[in-house]
Structure 1
Amino acid sequence: MTTLPKKQKVLLLLSASSLLLPALHKTAHAQVLPFTSLKTSSSSLDRWLSDITLTGQIEGGIMANPARPNPGYNYGDFLADHANQVQLNQAEFTLSKAIDSSLNEYQIGFTLEGLYGSDARYYHVLGISDQEWKARYQLIPAQAHVDVHLPWLTKGELDMQVGILQAPMGVEGLDPTSRAFYTLAYTSEYSVPFEHIGAMFNWHVTPMVDVTFGIDTGNQTSFGSSDNNHMPAAYFGFNLNNLAHGKLRIVELSRVGPENSWRSVGHYEADHAQRFWNDINATYDINDKLSVTAEFNYLHDEGVRGIGARGQFAGADAESFVSFLSYKINKEFTFNYRGEIYRDNNNMMVATFRGNNSYMEALAGTGGETVAGPSGHGTTYGDLSLNVVYHPDLGHHVRVFQLRPEIRFDRSLNGTTPFNGGRNNGMFTFGGDAVIGF
């Protein structure tokens, strides 16, 4: 019997999932609203269409750097990489139909999100949108997936998403309203993936325990020549919910699979050298106003090679710890703190990409010009960020409004000089962003 390559297995899995969806859709209507007449069928369709929503959101910001680095980049900052320049980070629209995991019935929904702005440069998928734009402001399909609720396995049942997915690992995401700060931690930029094409499953085993697993083509890759290697990657992890009388939640997620380009390391190495991603975070609500979050991340890549302080090395490692604190001053103001220690053991993870397409070129292995960073031995980065968020309820169809002035201190804690064009071991930036959504 012929054994299919793993990449073809992924294709078959996704194809089979997509073929099942019409059947699941029909089964859902058969169970909830039997098709006894054309009138009933029309009523079912109307009900399914009734809760489809369209939302929009705009975000722009700036992080000023009084050191005026040459070249003009804030080193280690993706979303506010251009120092002293205002940017339109995101103008996005989302069309979606949510599923309700609490209902014991088959359901089908979807999410379609288009995003235009400077953030798009870092969230492309190879072969989907990475070759279409050269300017700083670019367009991406940030999400395009079918969502299915399956009343299987346990009382809590199973949720599935298939398509273009935002990576689930880590604390800080692409949506600015889902995170506390305008800028991202080093962990959120260099030690978690961003986008996938694949399938993700969330199994609600008990009210306290969720199990997450999934398979995809790789971080920000698609199929065929648009993949930087020929092997898939997989997720596995768990959520612990409603601990400590509902005050504590713990999320662990691990991921393994090759992530290096064959153009950089060769076909065999690209297909067999694994990258191991591991992230665990816990959030504890001390009271109605104060909450704290701790995140620990470890990444190891077998395929990255270079020259370090002790000679040639094979493999790269990064370990980090991030702490967050959020205090609700009142209904309109929230104070946030973020502190991070990020160890780049071989100076192979942290980089600032010079050029609008350099990040995706580096991912594809076709180039990727970077701003000069530290060389030789590794660097331990420290990040301290503070802000106060003003988020009044404006009403009148304004879904969200927030102003987030932020100050940030970055420093190399072991003497390297990565900041401000290689002149300094520290960097001070200040600024923030504004978000309005409808």
Structure 2
Amino acid sequence: MGVSFGEILWSFKKPRQQGSWIAFSVLWLCSIPLSVHAESAHAEEDIPLEARKVKDGTEVHAVTQKNEPGSFSQWVEGITVHGQVEGGIIANPARPEDGLNFGSLLTDHANQAQLNQMTLTIAKDLDPQLNKDYQLGFDIQLLYGSDARYFHLLGMDTNMITQRYQLIPSEAYLTGHLPWLTEGGVDVKAGIMTAIMGVEGLDPTTRPFYSLAYTSNYSVPFEHLGILTTFHVDETFDVVTGIDSGNQTTIGSGDNNGEPAGYFGVTLNNLAGGDLTIVQLSRIGPENPTRTFGPRANSAMRYWNDIDVTYKLSEEATLTGEVNYLHDEGLRADVYSFVGFMAYKLDPELTFNLRTELYRDNTGAFVSNFQTNTGYTRALRGISVPSVSAPPTTYGALTLGLTYKPDLGHFSDVFSLFEIRPEIRFDRSLNGTRPFNASRNAGQFTFGGDAVIGF
């Protein structure tokens, strides 16, 4: 008898194996041959002569300490501390009575400036030049702001702050490189991490617009507690797998059902002379709460599927297409969409961005707005909360914007980044429904933007 993918995932949640993720991390760390050397232990012959200079008749030796793979200095070198602040406003001339821009989460409040996120990140990244060696890194990021309302993990931080500006550990994971099987080896992450599916992520510097597409708001997961592996088969082909407790859940009372979920997919890099990249990711697992669906929530699967294609058309122009399909057995719902992006560099400091989207919410179960600061996370638990939704609707959206990223000059000693991103956006129902502006209109026009400062 064969073993199903769901049975494999379930094995990680059995009581006798609930500590398997921790055990995996401990075994992984113990398998790395750390060789710690104090500076005083280096013999003179271990310090190579890098250069020999003569000054005023005296020989001066410029020396460099070896940094052998596995040495203590290799593990502590490269630790960085980075801060970033993002704030913005989306204006809505229709001034909806409920104060909400329908179809948006992170930019849901109309005509109100807000601090979206203020982050502090301490990290040690893996070095791709050292793929033949064992490597260990980490990433710890705290996020404070209005975006935190939608990136909580149940059972961890949902009741820390209940105002609009909230605090979360958006990332807290160990990462390692294992030089196994192929020249590229295997990269592993374990801990709290933002979801990997989709084009537009939580970090504003990785996406072209302040507002998000419907697909990025409603058809991709946000946050995970779990393990993710990337197997570098060769320079072109990567295989991605992962297991986690579910979208924005933890374990025990922090899980809204009794089953885990997992990723599988592939990445094709450096195609068409390095100009083409294709990422295909699928995800399977139950995501609905037992509080609402009862025991059926543990067997009713949600299937997420996303394909992203990026092509560098020229030195100035880059095209990206995203195709997404989601099916939820518990909700008996289907959502499918296409998002197209174009970025055209007008000069070194200014880029024009375009986004167009066609999004179908087949039952009206996904596109909604929450009217309280804790409504989203309470809904994840299966608690009834005040929200605004729409009947089955086909949405069309067009967004135009600019990214202005000036040369910081002397200020680069203090700031690592400064960018301003104005945008205008047109949303419309294409099948006659009226979901926008407190259910008054078939269309919605918004404009605004954000600013991002890094240091």
**TM-score grouping bracket, smaller chain normalisation:** over 0.9
The alignment partner of 1:287 has SS state of: coil
Residues 1:106 and 2:108 are matched in the alignment: no
Match of 1:17 among 5, 24, 34: 24
Match of 1:80 among 107, 126, 130: 107
The alignment partner of 2:297 has SS state of: helix
Q: Deviation per CA, 1:361-419, whole angstroms, max 9, x where unpaired?
A: 11111233202x323xx200111001011101212231111000110111100000000
Match of 1:215 among 232, 243, 247: 243
Return the alpha-carbon distance in structure 1 between the equivalents of residues 377 and 444 of structure 2: 26
Indicate if the aligned counterparts of 2:75 and 2:135 stay in contact, CA closer than 8 A. no
> Paired residue for 1:276?
303
| Percent of aligned pairs sharing the same letter | 53
Return the alpha-carbon distance in structure 1 between the equivalents of residues 39 and 438 of structure 2: 71
Indicate if the aligned counterparts of 1:385 and 1:409 stay in contact, CA closer than 8 A. yes
Shift of 1:50: 2.8
> Paired residue for 1:389?
403
Shift of 1:179: 0.2
Structure 1, unpaired ranges of 5+: 305-314
> Paired residue for 2:364?
347
Shift of 1:54: 0.1
Indicate if the aligned counterparts of 1:88 and 1:117 stay in contact, CA closer than 8 A. yes
Shift of 1:6: 4.0
Return the alpha-carbon distance in structure 1 between the equivalents of residues 255 and 174 of structure 2: 22
> Paired residue for 1:48?
75
Match of 1:336 among 350, 353, 366: 353
Shift of 1:13: 3.1
> Paired residue for 2:175?
147
Shift of 1:23: 1.3
Shift of 1:21: 3.7
Indicate if the aligned counterparts of 1:274 and 1:303 stay in contact, CA closer than 8 A. yes
Match of 1:92 among 103, 119, 122: 119
Return the alpha-carbon distance in structure 1 between the equivalents of residues 39 and 85 of structure 2: 45
Return the alpha-carbon distance in structure 1 between the equivalents of residues 166 and 38 of structure 2: 49
Return the alpha-carbon distance in structure 1 between the equivalents of residues 344 and 112 of structure 2: 30
Shift of 1:48: 2.4
Shift of 1:45: 3.1
Return the alpha-carbon distance in structure 1 between the equivalents of residues 414 and 12 of structure 2: 48
The alignment partner of 2:438 has SS state of: coil
Shift of 1:20: 1.7
Higher mean C-alpha deviation, range 335-344 or range 42-51 = 42-51
Q: TM-score, normalised by structure 2?
A: 0.89
Structure 2, unpaired ranges of 5+: 1-7, 44-64
Shift of 1:40: 5.5
Shift of 1:146: 0.1
Return the alpha-carbon distance in structure 1 between the equivalents of residues 437 and 287 of structure 2: 30
Residues 1:179 and 2:223 are matched in the alignment: no
Match of 2:13 among 7, 15, 34: 7
Higher mean C-alpha deviation, range 205-214 or range 394-403 = 394-403
Indicate if the aligned counterparts of 1:10 and 1:217 stay in contact, CA closer than 8 A. no
Q: Deviation per CA, 1:198-239, whole angstroms, max 9, x where unpaired?
A: 000000001000000000000000011110001010100000
> Paired residue for 1:261?
289
Q: Deviation per CA, 1:84-133, whole angstroms, max 9, x where unpaired?
A: 00000000000000111331100100000000000000000001111111
Return the alpha-carbon distance in structure 1 between the equivalents of residues 221 and 289 of structure 2: 15
Return the alpha-carbon distance in structure 2 between the equivalents of residues 93 and 49 of structure 1: 19
> Paired residue for 1:192?
220
The alignment partner of 1:93 has SS state of: strand
Shift of 1:35: 5.0
The alignment partner of 1:54 has SS state of: strand
Change (3 A) 1:194 1:154: same
Q: Aligned-residue CA RMSD in angstroms?
A: 1.8
Q: Deviation per CA, 1:235-290, whole angstroms, max 9, x where unpaired?
A: 00000001111100000000000000001110x21100000000001000011100
> Paired residue for 1:310?
none
The alignment partner of 1:84 has SS state of: coil
Residues 1:169 and 2:197 are matched in the alignment: yes
Return the alpha-carbon distance in structure 2 between the equivalents of residues 393 and 129 of structure 1: 38
Return the alpha-carbon distance in structure 1 between the equivalents of residues 226 and 239 of structure 2: 17
> Paired residue for 1:322?
339
Indicate if the aligned counterparts of 1:361 and 1:368 stay in contact, CA closer than 8 A. yes
Letter matched to residue 388 of structure 1 = L
> Paired residue for 2:86?
59
Q: Which protein is bigger by CA-based radius of gyration?
A: 2
The alignment partner of 1:404 has SS state of: strand
Match of 1:412 among 429, 445, 448: 429
Indicate if the aligned counterparts of 2:368 and 2:390 stay in contact, CA closer than 8 A. no
Indicate if the aligned counterparts of 1:291 and 1:326 stay in contact, CA closer than 8 A. yes
Letter matched to residue 180 of structure 2 = W
Indicate if the aligned counterparts of 2:11 and 2:17 stay in contact, CA closer than 8 A. no
> Paired residue for 1:380?
394
Indicate if the aligned counterparts of 2:12 and 2:20 stay in contact, CA closer than 8 A. no
> Paired residue for 2:264?
236
Indicate if the aligned counterparts of 2:105 and 2:369 stay in contact, CA closer than 8 A. yes
Indicate if the aligned counterparts of 1:333 and 1:388 stay in contact, CA closer than 8 A. yes
> Paired residue for 1:123?
151
Return the alpha-carbon distance in structure 1 between the equivalents of residues 25 and 352 of structure 2: 44
Letter matched to residue 414 of structure 1 = N
The alignment partner of 2:18 has SS state of: helix
Q: Deviation per CA, 1:290-325, whole angstroms, max 9, x where unpaired?
A: 010000000000001xxxxxxxxxx10000000000
Letter matched to residue 117 of structure 2 = Q
The alignment partner of 1:135 has SS state of: coil
The alignment partner of 1:120 has SS state of: helix
Match of 1:422 among 439, 442, 446: 439
Shift of 1:147: 0.3
Aligned residue pairs total: 417
The alignment partner of 1:424 has SS state of: coil
Change (3 A) 1:10 1:96: farther
